[in-house]
């Protein structure tokens, strides 16, 4: 299906090109190349549309169509990343792609907006790469003149928008009115949305060329490879080690020498054969031994096992005789009153 230009389109397009050329000359810039064609005679040629289509600073469709005629490959992949541009340049490109004898696959690499979305409709198959977008809206333009000129421009823009709506309807189905409603709302489509709307055939998940699906390539393969821990002495999962036997091991003997190891063995053997000191038998119901000290409120008795049991106490305990009773007998007649003299005084 070819998009038909309005009756005054030729004059309008010619005026656009003339004004664009004057603008470039005034600014001292050259028309930049907004497309690239490679592998023209191979099995699949590639066309990249990666900029504004035509417009004030872009090249015209004439150059693109001339280069397109040189493609003899049976398959043609058109990759689009464009915000749009000149409506009539885009329509000319779309019709040239439809007319080409190659099997045309359009691949949206970034964005296909405005007239670039119309170019995308020219493919025999349309693929949306991951995270790409497609946008449709009504045509817009600039006009200078009187009211009649403005009215004429409004009618022309409305006619162009109807023409573009027919392109979407021819591809995805529906009516012109339905697509004009979507265009007036400036509708954006994600890959899955474009497929659901009929504007694309596939939301592609494309692996790298020459790499089977699921298998990384190049640097990715190196990154995905399991890290080799053998360089750090790792030989596999840790296994439970048997408990070491009591005593010296062959590894220790090799470190300290047989002579020192023999001395250590003799020391350990001697310590194991010395019998432990026997503890005195416990006598039941025997009063606990106490010691007496003078506190703030007079003599007090404290169990011996509650007294400090340091080494010094143990050494001197046997040197201090327990002669409390003998001393008390010697001084008792000096401290206790004589009963006989007391009785005489009272009588």
Give the residue numbers marked as catalytic.
114, 137
Query: How many Å separate Cα 65 from the centre of its chain?
Result: 45
Cα 206 from Cα 204, distance rounded (Å) = 6
The residue assigned the tokens 């099995």 is: 43
Cα 272 from Cα 19, distance rounded (Å) = 112
CA-based end-to-end distance of the chain = 160
Cα 179 from Cα 195, distance rounded (Å) = 15
DSSP string, 104-160: EEEEEEEEEETHHHHHHTTSSEEEE-TT-EEEE--------S-HHHHHHHHHHHHHH
Number of other residues whose CB lies within 10 A of the CB of residue 186: 12
H/E element, 99: helix 87-99
Cα 104 from Cα 126, distance rounded (Å) = 9
**Are the C-beta atoms of 129 and 206 separated by less than 8 Å?**
yes
Cα 293 from Cα 320, distance rounded (Å) = 14
């Amino acid at each position: 299906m070819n998009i038909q230009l309005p009756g005054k389109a030729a004059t309008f397009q010619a005026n656009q090109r003339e004004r664009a050329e004057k603008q470039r000359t005034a600014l001292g810039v050259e028309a930049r190349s907004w497309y690239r064609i490679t592998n023209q005679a191979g099995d699949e040629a590639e066309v990249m549309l990666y900029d504004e289509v035509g417009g004030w600073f872009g090249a015209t469709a004439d150059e693109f169509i001339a280069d397109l005629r040189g493609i003899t490959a049976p398959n043609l992949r058109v990759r689009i990343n464009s915000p749009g541009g000149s409506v009539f340049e885009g329509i000319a490109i779309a019709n040239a792609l439809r007319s080409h004898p190659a099997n045309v696959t359009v691949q949206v690499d970034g964005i296909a907006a405005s007239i670039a979305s119309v170019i995308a409709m020219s493919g025999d198959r349309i693929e949306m790469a991951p995270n790409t977008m497609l946008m449709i809206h009504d045509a817009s333009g600039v006009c200078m003149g009187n009211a009649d000129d403005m009215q004429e421009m409004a009618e022309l823009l409305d006619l162009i928008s109807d023409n573009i709506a027919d392109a979407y309807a021819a591809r995805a189905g529906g009516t012109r009115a339905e697509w004009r409603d979507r265009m007036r709302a400036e509708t954006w489509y994600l890959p899955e949305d474009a497929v659901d709307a009929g504007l694309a055939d596939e939301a592609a998940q494309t692996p790298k060329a020459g790499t089977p699906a699921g298998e990384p390539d190049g640097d990715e393969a190196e990154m995905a490879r399991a890290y080799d821990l053998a360089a750090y002495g790792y030989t596999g999962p840790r296994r439970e080690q048997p408990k070491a036997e009591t005593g010296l091991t062959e590894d220790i003997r090799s470190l300290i020498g047989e002579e020192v190891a023999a001395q250590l063995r003799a020391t350990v053997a001697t310590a194991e054969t010395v019998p432990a000191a026997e503890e005195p038998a416990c006598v039941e119901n025997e009063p606990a031994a106490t010691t007496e000290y003078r506190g703030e409120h007079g003599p007090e008795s404290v169990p011996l096992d509650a007294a400090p049991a340091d080494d010094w106490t143990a050494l001197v305990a046997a040197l201090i005789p327990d002669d409390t009773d003998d001393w008390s007998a010697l001084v008792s007649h000096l401290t206790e009153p004589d009963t006989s003299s007391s009785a005489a005084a009272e009588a």
